[in-house]
Amino acid sequence: MLALSLAAAAPAFAVLGGDLSSVQADQARLHASARMIPTQKYTVHEMQTARGTLIRQFVSPAGTVFAVSWQGSTPDLEHLLGDYFDQYVQAAQAQSSRRARGVHIDTGDFTFESGGHMRFVTGRAFLRSKLPSGVSSDQLR
C-alpha cells in the first residue's frame, strides 16, 4: 500500500528555501539517478530524471536549499519554487506582454531566470538572503 501511494504521488522537487530532507525525497519520487558534488561553501545535489531533465539543488552548510537549476524539460515549478511560486506567476504574467524570449524576475531576494525552447529549457532560481557567504550567483548553474 505504501509503495502504491508513493508511486501515485505527484513528482515534487526540493522546495526553494526548504531543507536537505526534501532533496533526498525527490530522488526517490523521481526515480532519478543522483550524485552529490561537495564544494568548499555548499553542496550540489544533482539528479537526472528518466525524461532527461537535469536538476541541481544547491544546499548550504546549514542544510537549506538556497538555489535550484534545471536543464531539459521544464520541471514542476509550483513544487520547485514552493512559497515563491506566486511571486513567479505574478512577475511572469507582467512580462508576458513584452514578448521576451526568456523570463527574468528579480524581486530583490528571489531571482528566477529561464529560457530556451519548447523541448529544452534552462533555468535557475535562488534566494540572495540564503546564499552562503562568499558565494556568487554566477556559480549557480
Domain of residue 96: give its range.
Answer: 8-131
Domain membership of residue 52 (yes or no) is: yes
Look at the chain and report how many structural domains it folds into. Answer: 1
What burial class does residue 117 get, using C-beta atoms within 10 Å of its C-beta: 0-12 exposed, 13-18 middle, 19+ buried? Answer: exposed
Work out the number of other CB atoms within 10 angstroms of the CB of residue 112.
23
- Please name which of 72, 137, 91, 36 lies closest in space to residue 81, comparing C-alpha atoms: 91
What is the residue type of 112? F
Domain membership of residue 139 (yes or no) is: no
The pLDDT, as a whole number, for residue 98 is 57
DSSP for 83-126 reads GGHHHHHHHHHHHGGGT-SSEEEE-SSEEEEEEEETTEEEEEEE
Domain membership of residue 136 (yes or no) is: no
Mean of pLDDT values over 1-19:
49
Rounded CA separation 66/42 (Å): 10
The pLDDT, as a whole number, for residue 8 is 32
Helix (H, G, I), strand (E, B) or coil at 38: strand
What does DSSP assign to residue 17? T
Report the percentage of the chain scoring pLDDT > 90: 43
Better-scored residue on pLDDT, 133 or 31: 133
Q: Give the sign of the dihedral formed by CA 123, CA 128, CA 130, CA 134.
A: positive
Average the pLDDT over each of 6-20, 21-35, 41-55 and give the range with the smallest value.
Answer: 6-20
Average the pLDDT over each of 35-49, 52-66, 87-101 and give the range with the smallest value.
Answer: 87-101
Domain membership of residue 13 (yes or no) is: yes
Local confidence band at 66 (pLDDT 50, 70, 90 cut-offs): very high
Rounded CA separation 133/48 (Å): 28
- Please name which of 68, 80, 72, 73 lies closest in space to residue 11, comparing C-alpha atoms: 80
